[in-house]
Amino acid sequence: MASAIRIDGKAKAAELSEKIKEETAALAGNHGIKPGLAVVIIGEDPASQVYVRNKKRTADACGFHSIQHSLPADVSQRDVLDLVASLNEDKAIHGILVQLPLPDHLDEHQITQSIAPSKDVDGFHYINIGKLTAGDTADAFVPCTPAGCMLMIEDHLGADLSGLSAVVIGRSNIVGKPMASLLLARNATVTITHSRTKDLPAVVRGADIVVAAVGRPNMVGGDWIKPGAVVIDVGINRVETEVDGETKAKLIGDVNYDEASEVAKAITPVPGGVGPMTITMLMANTLRSAKLAAGLVD
């Protein structure tokens, strides 16, 4: 019998979405401003199509001005950059998101860095990354997944993490590094680990907070977890399993949920944990961008 609190990302995201909806209605009513989100999708990647559909549906539900640009897989780099440049200039658009991964012939770095930092609601522009690292986030955007993880951690441990140790497994620019910056800003003592870390289980075992973002199914076993730790599983791994003689795809995390939930204080499931929060934080960033553009954020 699992003893950990199951952190319900769906419920948390729904609660936040309601607040975003209310603030969006107030912004439109009081100032005539509607947050605008433009999503650019290139090619036919099925997972990307699902993500983009979810983002558009959520943006519409929040009352945003939401547009989607679907470009063919063989689109030129120049055409993508021209589209981003026109969106940078469009005053009705406050957030620009280019869905990754991109087809191989496109330069992902050049495209993501061409988005105006003030509209970079994914938080991937080096100016936003630099501000986050420096702890100067007043007008910066934090990547959506770490921002969502942070809210879930605060629910269980409070906003001040002084005296607590956190281990982040994974060093990506999208999750691992920004997650470490956010935890540091909350006074946690942070260790970033990765595939080259010596005796990884022992390092993780010392942590009061574990954020797993490495992309390896069930890598983190229950014996890696310190009793009473808060465990945030960012991994989304699609694995084939056999059910009644049929092969089906199943989503599982980087953490062995059944084992870890016997030991942890609180843990996110996969699916239904971090995923729903990521899209909601994208909406929160877009709303904030609209307010910043109108000078309505102190």
Structure confidence by residue, pLDDT tens digits, 172-228 = 999 999 999 999 999 999 999 998 999 999 999 999 999 999 999 999 999 999 999
The answer to whether 191 and 162 have CB atoms below 8 angstroms apart is no
One of 3.40.30.10, 3.40.50.300, 3.40.50.720, 1.10.10.370 is the CATH number of 144-275, namely: 3.40.50.720
pLDDT < 70 stretches in the chain: 1-2, 298
Catalytic: 21? Answer: no
Tell me which of 119, 120, 122, 233 is the catalytic residue: 122
DSSP state, residue 222: G
Residues near 160 by beta carbon (within 8 Å), at least 6 away in sequence? 186, 187
The catalytically annotated residue of 12, 99, 120, 177 is 99
Residue 99 among the catalytic residues: yes
Tell me what the pLDDT averaged over the chain comes to: 95
CATH 3.40.50.720 residue window(s) in the chain = 144-275
Start and end residues for every CATH 3.40.50.10860 domain found in the chain: 30-118
Tokens of 175: 């999750």
Catalytic option among 12, 55, 226, 265: 55
Q: d(Cα 50, Cα 186) in Å, to the nearest integer?
A: 34
Classify 30-118 by CATH class. Answer: alpha beta
**55 in catalytic set:** yes
pLDDT at 9: 97
